[in-house]
Each structure stands twice: as C-alpha cells, then as structure tokens.
Chains A and B, each alone.
Chain A
Amino acid sequence: MKRYGWTVSSWGIALALTLPVLALIVESLLPAEDIFRHLWASVLPAYIGNTFWLVLLVMGLSLLFGLPAAWLMAMCELPGRRLLQWALILPLAMPSYIVAFVYTDLLDYSGPVQLALRDWFGWQSATDYYFPPIRTLGGAALVMGLVLYPYVYLLGRTAFLEQSTSLVQSSRLLGCSPWQSFRRVSLPLARPAIAVGMSLVAMETLAEFGTVNFFAVNTLTTAVYDTWLGYGSLQAAAKISAIMLLVVMVLLSLERMSRKRQQVFQKSMGHEQETGYRLTGVRKWAALGFCWSLVALGFLLPFVILCYHAVRYFDRAWNARFFEYSLNSLLLSAVVAVLALAMALLLGMTHRLKGKRHTVLPLRLASMGYALPGTVLAIGVLVPLTMMDFAINDLALWLGLPEPGLLLTGTMTAIAFGYLVRFGAMAIGAVESSLNKVSPSLDMVTQTMGYGPAAMIWRVHLPLIRKGMLAGALLVFIECMKELPAALLLRPFNFQTLATYVYQFVSDEQLELGALPAIVIVLVGLIPLIFLNRSLEQHH
C-alpha cells in the first residue's frame, strides 16, 4: 500500500478536481434541442473568429511586453532596477474588468481624452477626425495584454534568474553576442516557463467575460452565457465549453510535444555572481522607457483614477461591510493558496518519483479547470457538490438524524473548491516548471545516501524549488482576490468577497462607489507581490 500511496492520492486529487469538468462533459452529451444548429447558422462563426483573434493577439502582446521586460530585469543593470522589477508585476494585482472600465471610460467618444482633443482642435463631431475606437477587438486585446503580460514576465524572469550563469558565460566565451547567447542559450532554457506563462495568458483570455463585455466584443464566452442564460440550455452551453476545453487541451499538448525531446537540467541554482549587462545611452533609455510605460499603462493610470474616485466618495465607501468583506477575501484566498500549493507539490512530486507515463495524466487533468469560464465552472461545481449534499442528507435521514442541510454548497466549501479547480493549474505549473530544472542526478545521489522519498523532498527538493512554490501560491492568492463570476454564484448567505462587492457597483455603472474596495483588492495583491520579489532578491 505504501508504495502506491503517492499515486493513489495524486489520482484522488486529480479526479476530485476533474469532477466539475466531468459534470459538464456529461451535461454536454445530453441532447440540446436545435439551439446549436441555430447558433451555427447565426452568430457562432463570428464568435469563434473573435475568440481566435483575441487569444492570438493577447498572447502576442503579452509576449511582446513580458519577455523583453523579463530579460532586461534578469540580465541587465539599469538605474532603479530594484523598484522597476517588482513594479512590472503590479498590473497583475489589478482586476481586468476594472482596467477595462477605466480605459473604455477614458477613451470613449465622450471620454475626457477625446473631449479634450475636440476642445483643442475645435472639432465638432465624430466625422471631423479619426480616433481609434476603443470598444473593439483591438482595444480589448491591448487592455488584456497590459494586464496579463506579468504572467510571461514573472515566469520568464524567474526562469532567467534560475539559469546557471556559467552557461551564459560559456556561450559568450565561445563567441556569442549577447543577442546570440540570449537566442541560443537563455531563451531555450526559459522556454518551458515562458510556455506556462503564455498558456496562462491564453486560458485567462479564453475564460474572460467581464472585460470583453465592456468592449462589446462577442466571444465564445458570450455564446456560453447566452445559451445558458438566454436560451436556458445548460446542455448547449456545456457543449460550447467542452469544445473550448478541447481546443485548450490540443494547444497545450502541441506545445508540450514540440519540446518533448528537450531535456535540460541545471547543476546550479541561480547566479553564482552578478554578470549583468550594463546598458548605456540610448539603449538604457529605451529599456527604461519600455518598462515604465508598461507599469504606467497597466497599473499607475488606472490606480490613480481609482484613488481619485476613492477620495471623492470616501465617506460613503468607508464602512463596516467594507472591512468584513476585506477579511472574507483575505481568508478565502489564503486558504485556497495553501491548499493549491500542497496539491501541486503532491502531484508534482508523484510525477517525479513515479516516472513518466501514468503519473503525468493526473497532472494534466488537475489543470483543466483553468480553461473554464467562471460561471460555467460554478455550474460544474454545483452539480457534483449538490449531489454529495443530497447523499449526506439522505444518509442522515436514513440514520434517523436531523438533516444537516447544504454542508458543501451552502458554505465556503463550494467557493473554495471552485477556486482550487480554477486556479490549481497556476500552482501546478509553477511547481512543475521549477521541479523540472532540478537534475534527476540529485535524486539519485540522495537515494544512494539512503534517504527515503519524504526526506529527499524535504531536504533537497523543497529548498531548491522554494521560489517556484512561492510564485505559484502567490499567483493563486491574487487570482482568488480578483475572481468574480464563480464567486457570484457559489458564495453562501451573508458572504461577500471584495470582488463581488465592487462588481455590484461596477455593474450598476457606479465604479466611483466601488473604488475604495477595488483599491484594497489591489493593495492586498501587492503585499504578496512584495514578498515574492524579496525572496527572489535574497538569492542574489
């Protein structure tokens, strides 16, 4: 039994996390009237097109923003680098629907920017000038790119930092220019991490609803919502979700296959010594300008606007409910982050200890929930959990005990489980990519010395992947703070998170009143980011 403990428990976790997805797949196999045919004939092709371009554009933009920033921060000496390298993560703490609200408000025809332009130049109407319309696919992609690039940046930078300097030095000694050494050594080594970052971006984009809604861009998520809530067909909605899920799986497998043969291990962790490139002149200013623009557009500008509203409406927003909801959000996010990390470690270590084939499946299965839109996920969570609730109550009745009621779906359990399903992938991805860099020869050495698996994990692996673990847990924490659609459906009575509280105002077009709690979401998100950065710093 002991020998199978690892495998059994990781399969157990994986299956538990797959329950919502399975529920949806079962649902999608039920007949769905003729809604599907009707959708194909009318709007679905356009939605698919929009989704395709949006995901592609957002991925492209995240790479364009995140990768250079990651490399600059990991490899180059720049004035103010210490500040800049964590400022670049800040957009992550900003819920994207708030950034979307701010930018549509700002750049719309009636927004202050166009108003000022009309004032200056004396233009009378929209026909007098051209201004790129913000509520378009391009606008949505730009804003989402600005909010999501930190995934690529964060994982990319960690990967660059974890690379052994001796490799870069060797490549330079062998005659590579900095660019060649980047392209031929650093980039291939960082590719797994960047790939994880990009897939996070892609899945976030695919599952996004609030933001695309602000930009009046109809995607597959719109179709899921419409069919479920408008046409009232969960089956048709589940069918569309299942197709989306399939696409994600195919993309991920393709990506994994493409680097299957690539097995790279590093003998050392981190830089033995500082060998940053020292940028000067134009290069220095270009690098600084690039990085600071990202910070300014993705974080500072929306944050300043939030602060402006928060100050103006402070009296109305500062109350007991606000404190209560802050505490709720903190607790929930912390609990989920810890659980997600524990889960990721178990799954990752099982995969490492037990070889490849049959242990990689639980790892992939457990990550599937991330691609589900929040509302769909919530339904997927409700289906199996209410079934369990009924089983528990029936059992109580049979035993002659009073019915306990909704023990799972009527409490925080449902929402916490939902978050684990949705964000577990982040912890798993982070732990996995860190573990992959630990050479198997270390395992062999440890085993030769007579350590059992537990001791090996505790004394060898955990210290080596500490940064990856922390990064994973913090990403989960921040996402839980911001998450909205699943929280709206899964929270029990008298329980609000900050996100649902803010959303009440935003959905009523009164962001002003929600500005203060929105700032708290951001600030609370900042604290773990600072910790994260300090731990990365201490290594050097």
Chain B
Amino acid sequence: MTKTFFLSAAALLASSFTAQAFAEEVNVYSNRQEFLIKPILDTFTQETGIDVNLVFIKDGMGERLEREGRLSPADLVLTVDVSRLMDVVDKDLTQAVQSEVLEANIPAQYRDADGKWFALTTRARAIYSSVERVGKRDDITYEELADPKYKGKICTRSGKHPYNVALTASMIAEHGSEYTKNWLQGLKDNLARKPQGGDRDQVKAIKDGVCDYALGNSYYYGVMLTNDDQRPWAESAYINFPNQGDRGTHVNISAVAMTKHAKNKDAALKLMEFLAGDEAQHLYASANHEYPVKPGVEPSELVNSWGEFKADTLPLTEVAKHAKEAIKLVDEVKYDL
C-alpha cells in the first residue's frame, strides 16, 4: 500500500520534470481563476500547438517571483488589479516587450510606455442603486457617498480589498490625502453594516433592503444576470456609472506582463499578442463581462446594454502610486472595524 503511494508520488514528480523539459510552452502565473481563462488558453493551444501551464496565485505573486529570481519558471503574469500589477512591475520583475501588434491593439493609456505591462480588459467601479427605493442615478458621484444624507444606506466590502483600495487611491490622486480621509470617514459613517462579503453580497443586500446603495465592479452585474439564483439580486438594482459630470468613472484593469527571466520568450510573446487580438479580446471580455481594451472590439451584448460611460482618464500608474497611502487611510479611520 505505502509502496504504491511512494511509487506513484515518484512518478508524479518525474512527470512534472519531463513535462517542463520538452515541447513549446508558456508558463503563466495568474491571479485570475483558472476556469475563467482556461477556455481562451485552450483556444490558443489549438491554434498554435503551444502548451500553456497555469498556476492560480491569489496572493503573494510578487514575493514568489522575487524569491525564484532567475530560476523562476514563469514567463507571463496575469493580474486582475492595477496595484497588484504595479507591485510586480515596481519590484523589477517584468521586462520590456516590443511588439507592433500589442502597440497597435492596446491604446497608450492601457499599457506601459516601456512595454513592461499591457492591460487586456477594463471594468468600472460602479455604484449600484435600489430599483425599488432609489431608482436610476445617472448623476451620482463617489464624493457624495460621504454625505450624511446617505446615513445607514450604503454597503461595501472590506476597505482593504484591492478594488476599494484602487478607488480610494484614485480619490487621493484627485483630491489629496486629507480630503480622502474625511471622505472615507464619511463613507464609513454611512455604512448600513460592517464591511463584509464580496461585491455581489452588497447587491444582494440591496435586494434584501439592508441598504439602498452599494459599491461594486461592473462585471458582477453580468455574472449575476447570467446566474439563475442570483438574477433576482441583479434585478433589484440599477448599475450607475459615477462622476459622469466631471472626471468620469474609476476603472481598473486586468493585465499581462512578461517576467524578467522568461525562458520561453517567443511563445510568451505569441500568447500576449493572441490575448490582445480580436478573437481573444472578445472571448476574454465576454467570459467575465468586462470591457475589451482593443478599440473596435465590442463588449458582449449584455455589457453593451448597460449603456456607454465616460471613464476616468487618470493614468493607472498614478492610481497605483497612492495604493499604500490608501490602505493607511483605511486603517486610520478603522473602516473595517
């Protein structure tokens, strides 16, 4: 019994070595879940014959890459949030990539000037409002959520979740630290309950009447609408794109970057270009109800039905710069306690 276990374990080990030694392949560290991108990567493998190996790393990707150094097997990293992306870029773990395809397909504000990272999709930090008690609010702003008139009417997830951190960081970039601290305090005072759960839980709370407004990413609206159990949550709320009267709605990105020590550079570049191409852009965006970055590629029909909006043009690197300051403010106002 034990012997069989050991033998099988040894076989498993051996196969993991050999698998890495032959055949053209790309190794990807991703903090986007496997089931969301696997179909796109499979399409890539079918078309090119290049295998894609994937590890889902939710947290600590930068730490791991840093420790592995030149021995790291990773060729590409896929991130789902700008501050996690910049963590990897700032630690000098990515390398510049020159590609006409990438430069032609991805607008300048969605990629690094030196080619150290490229955004693939965008999503908006929306404000959901109750259909029953509020109605559609096209004029809403992030700033006014701190107004005492919203006392007890707002739900959010933890202030330290990367999505909320990025929003707070964009507030710092726009208004400065002191204003943002007061804003966070005001927002906290208006919360209907202690921050908890995920973005979808907040919309569910609107349906249950716990609160009237909630912060949440745009793609969750699509996820809920296409899930039989969650459709009623989505239908109880409108999706509003804030700050249309001024700077526009805060957007975040999912992105790809080549690691500094990539060993399969050619294959990795092929995958990057594939991800920025028409087919993958459409697949990638519609699989998760996001907005493609390549001009001319339409979002899914469902996403289109939510209407067009103006996105904040503040460079995302600017947002990422204020991320640590944002977390500090969240702690200072004890947002989650």
Contact = CB atoms under 8 A, between A and B. Distances in A.
Nearest to B157: A216
B332 interface: yes
B188 to A, nearest CB: 13
Interface string B70-95: 01110000000000000100000000
Contacts of A378: 60
B70 to A, nearest CB: 9
Contact of B59 (A125, A218, A225, A491): A225
A331 B324 contact: no
A535 to B, nearest CB: 15
Given A386-B67, A405-B20, A231 B8 contact: no
B73 A406 contact: yes
A255 interface: no
Interface residues of A, number: 58
Given A218-B336, A489-B64, A226 B71 contact: no
Interface in B195-212: 195-198, 200-201, 204-205, 207-210
A331 B73 contact: no
B5 A379 contact: no
Interface string A17-48: 00000000000000000000011001100100
A493 B53 contact: yes
A218 B337 contact: yes
A230 B194 contact: no
Contacts of A375: 59-60
Contacts of B9: 331-332, 335, 412
A232 B323 CA distance: 10
Nearest to B229: A512
A302 to B, nearest CB: 18
B33 interface: yes
Contacts of A493: 16, 20, 27, 53-55, 73
Interface in B55-71: 55-60, 62-64, 67-69, 71
B180 to A, nearest CB: 15
Interface of B is mostly: helix
A389 B71 CA distance: 8
Nearest to A230: B327
Contacts of A234: 63
B87 A232 contact: yes
B19 interface: yes
A524 interface: no
B22 interface: no
Interface string B227-266: 0010000000000000000000000000000000000000
Given A218-B337, A508-B33, A410 B13 contact: no
Nearest to B87: A232
Q: Which 8 A-B pairs have the closest CB atoms?
A: A216-B196, A110-B208, A42-B331, A493-B53, A386-B67, A230-B327, A504-B33, A334-B5
Interface of A: 38-39, 42-43, 46, 109-110, 125-126, 135, 216, 218, 225-226, 228-232, 234, 328, 331-332, 334-335, 338, 375, 378-379, 382-383, 386, 389-390, 393, 403, 405-406, 409-413, 488-489, 491-496, 500, 504-505, 507-509, 512
